Amino acid sequence: MTTSPSSLRADAARNRGLIVEAARDLFRTRGINVPLSAVARRAGVGVATLFRRFPTRESLVSEVFAEQIERCEAVLEEAVSDPDPWRGFRRLVEFACAEQREDRGFTEAFLATFTNDHDERREQAETAFDTLVLRAQECGRLRPDFAASDLVMLLMANNGLRAAPAEHADVLSRRLVAYLLQAFETTTGPGEGALPPASPLRLHHAQGQP
Amino acid sequence: MTTSPSSLRADAARNRGLIVEAARDLFRTRGINVPLSAVARRAGVGVATLFRRFPTRESLVSEVFAEQIERCEAVLEEAVSDPDPWRGFRRLVEFACAEQREDRGFTEAFLATFTNDHDERREQAETAFDTLVLRAQECGRLRPDFAASDLVMLLMANNGLRAAPAEHADVLSRRLVAYLLQAFETTTGPGEGALPPASPLRLHHAQGQP
């Protein structure tokens, strides 16, 4: 029995798909540093096959999250060109925090993208965000003392809420984002903005550690 | 050479002191789940001696943090009886977040206290906090839709900032607390409250995971 080149290629493509799918599932729940042997096991392929397709962890991470990273860049671009810069700013913040809630791996991949491989992409994203901030300030809705690093603050704080029991984490995150967007805005009247519902958590739930 | 009972007692007291001091240092930087063998090593005593003095991790944690827990309870009590309930509320929040910044072990111990051993103490603290919230709302400064769980949210979010490089974590935390206190307050005029200085962090710094 011989294996034709085309069925070899079909096999390779199928394996590649299985690996990417398995990695997506595991990255989502356990982060991008999950052992690659676990990815291979879940994909039903050998570790050698995995390394043949993806010689480095980075190459697998890039493939898994390429689409999401692009979506993120698109949302940023959309935000920058929104005729209402404050709405653009708010949408970007809400989008980033929602992505963070839904997918642990994505946040890591997003930040890894902007840390290691793609200095140019990172600089573009940072410049675009600076522009967005400036416009939102110029239109009078974003407070003039808002700093770009306040977005980092928000993302890290939002990440800290993962320590909450899973069924509360979303509620806490929505609340945090709503509070901070109100604090970022110059023109919210006193206590004007409506908040999303509160969680029933008590003090002893706050024990997670980063 | 015989050892007198009093010198035995003196030895025991000295060892106890060395162990508590070593534990305090290690809990501060590495949290309360640091291996007890590391505590014994730093104290310069054998593990057997450590276990003779502190049969459980909880007993060591309680001893190390007893004073701080009491201080925390005192701050809460003071806040509740402050003639200006909003000032009391603000001080409590600022105190809790500052303690969290300074001592990782303390946050864990604080929450462990209110989780496991001391149900009664926890209930007391929660009731006192509820009273504080009610008073601050009744005096018109704390927004009526503030929920007690928003303190949990703030503590977890603040904890998430530990993921920042050490030299930035404090700045981010002060900023977060200032933003949230402004968002909690009904009567801050638009963009009125001054913020503490911003950090120079950029997006790629936001990669810590809890």
Least reliable range by pLDDT among A133-142, A190-199, B38-47, B92-101: A190-199
pLDDT in tens, B145-174: 899 889 888 988 998 888 787 778 888 899
User: What is the residue-averaged pLDDT of chain A?
Assistant: 83
Q: What is the ipTM of this complex?
A: 0.77
Q: Which fold has domain A57-205?
A: Tetracycline Repressor; domain 2 (1.10.357)
B166 touches chain A (CB under 8 A): no
Residues of chain B with CATH 1.10.10.60: 1-55
Q: Is B196 on the interface with A (CB under 8 A)?
A: no
Residue spans in chain A of domains classed CATH 1.10.357:
57-205
Residues 121-140 of B with CB under 8 A from A: 122, 125-126, 129
DSSP secondary-structure letter at A142? B
Interface test with A, best of B168, B177, B204 (most A CBs within 10 A): B204
pLDDT at B13 over 60: yes
Tokens 């989502």 sit on residue: A28
Angle subtended at Cα A33 by Cα A31 and Cα A35, rounded to the nearest 5 degrees: 115
Query: Which residue in the block uniquely carries the two structure tokens 């096991």?
Result: A41
Helices (H) and strands (E) in chain B, counts: 9, 0
- pLDDT at position A199, please? 60
The pLDDT value recorded for residue B113 is 57
Q: Which CATH architecture has domain B1-55?
A: Orthogonal Bundle (1.10)
Centre a 10 Å sphere on the Cβ of residue B154 and count the other Cβ atoms it contains. Answer: 26
Does residue A132 contact residue A92 with C-beta atoms inside 8 Å? Answer: yes
Q: Which residues in chain B are classed under CATH 1.10.357?
A: 58-205
Q: Are A75 and A92 in contact (CB under 8 A)?
A: yes
Report yes or no: A75 at the B interface, CB cutoff 8 Å: no
B58-205 maps to CATH 1.10.357: yes
Q: A60-74, A133-147, B35-49 — which is least confidently predicted?
A: A60-74
d(CA B53, CA A105): 44
Tell me if chain A has a CB within 8 Å of the CB of B160.
yes
Do A199 and B175 count as a contact with CB atoms less than 8 A apart?
no
Segment among A146-160, A184-198, B45-59 with least mean pLDDT: A184-198
